[in-house]
Amino acid sequence: MDHDDLLSPRALYEVAALIQDHPDADLIYSDEDKIDAAGQRYEPHFKTGWNPELLLAQNMVSHLGVYRRALIEAGGGLREGFEGSQDYDLALRIAEATTPARIHHIPWPLYHWRQSGGPETFSQAQMDRCAAAAQRAVAEHLARTGQPVSSVARMDDTPGWVTVRRVIPEPRPMVSVIVPTRDRADLLAACVEGVLKSGYGPLELLVVDNGSVEPETLALFARLSGEARGRVLNAPGPVNFSALNNRAAAEARGEILLLLNNDISMPAPGWLEALVAQAVRPSVGAVGARLLYPDGRVQHAGVALGLGGVAGHVGHFAPGETAGYFGHLKSARNVSAVTAACLALRKTVFDQVGGLDSENLAVAFNDIALCLRVRAAGYDIIFEPACELIHHESASRGTDPAGPAPGRVRAELAPLRGRWGK
């Protein structure tokens, strides 16, 4: 700990109690807050569970960080040349030397970081040097662990945090983009154009038509039939998004599947590369995008279980320009789930977990259940903010509270809670 900071009176007790319950623990970290000269505590940092992707953006371990001594000694201790980020470098190296099962989070603010009342700390006075050390610590960690990246840079407006851009292996994997639809040619046309003009290849676009009848939609399908990379699959019948996606996935030729709503538009290039660069990683099971409403507010930045009684979008309605709580809205990180409005995953993973649940979850919660099964199979779920898209949410089918949907939502919630209640 730093010489001028404070520990909670219960800090060492909580650490000892955790070690008693988990004697094989190698790394323990707690929540923290700040404290001013008057002793007033503020800005609590309530952290996530172990989050290796978020650790690449910020030092979420310090403070309070507790390490198994043998691992520190085996790794050579704190390294010179990383002053201001030496604890960050240590956390990354210890994480490499252990497993997630031996890393534990104490969800209590046990460390009070003093912010004023004395001379500036080294990190305050030498911010550029500390930020450079953080970048180097992350870059060396990625190199040691064999994770190819195109850049490791400072996060905009937050010089102590880091942004990592991953690369896609060559030859590039083929992506099958699956878009279920029923009419609303205006929305679908923008989505189709964004996919086909993404610049990514190899690619195929599978539009799953669930009984469209409007002339504008049929004309769009006719134009799409002349596109070598596009196909329209006829799938009439009641709305069942799970079944529509499963049907297309069975016919898809791509190594990567991208489940995409027809009301998504793409304001900037590079979005598909960002998703694929994450989805190809062997440890990753599914990847989601940063979705904004047309007015610029955040629609989706990952899903947290429990919000709204079931699962809710992190950062919902936050201003699009804000980084959110401790940078979470603009940091790639491990999350509980992501929305299937834009969800990429390897076809092998999709098949391994049995696809979407078309029997019990026709419309709602099918993406949550998919992500839960993916995580249960041992894979990570990643939120990737470098993929930023516009979601005209529910414009093509209305919102769930309209009409008979509340009853349907309750019916679909029962099997979800029955299997995943805990």
* C-alpha–C-alpha distance, residues 70 and 36, integer Å: 35
C-alpha closest to that of 154 among 51, 85, 78: 85
Confidence at residue 209, expressed as pLDDT on a 0 to 100 scale: 97
DSSP-derived secondary structure for 156-214: TTEEEEEEEEE---SSPPPEEEEEEE-S-HHHHHHHHHHHHTS--SSEEEEEEESS---
pLDDT value of residue 127: 84
Contact 190, 265 (CB under 8 A): yes
What gap in Å lies between CA 272 and CA 384, rounded to an integer?
A: 11
* pLDDT of amino acid 403: 41
pLDDT at 398: 41
Q: What is the pLDDT of residue 125?
A: 58
Task: Give the per-residue pLDDT at 404.
Answer: 45
Please report the pLDDT score of residue 123 as a whole number: 55
Low-confidence ranges of the chain (pLDDT < 70): 117-125, 394-405
Residue 124 forms beta bridges with which residues?
A: none
What does the DSSP 8-state code read for residue 100? G
Beta 175-181 vs 256-260: how paired, if at all? parallel
At 75, list the tokens. 């790794």
- Residue 3 is encoded by which pair of tokens? 């010489």
Name the maximum alpha-carbon separation found in the chain: 72
Q: What is the pLDDT of residues 291-344, one digit of tens each?
A: 999 999 999 999 999 888 889 999 999 999 999 999 999 999 999 999 999 999
Q: What is the tens place of the pLDDT at every residue in 354-377?
A: 999 999 999 989 999 999 999 999
User: In the numeric block, which tokens belong to residue 160?
Assistant: 């102590």
- Three-state DSSP class for 228? coil
The pTM score is: 0.94
Mean of the per-residue pLDDT values of the chain:
93
Please state, in angstroms and rounded to a whole number, the distance separating the CA atoms of residues 362 and 29: 40
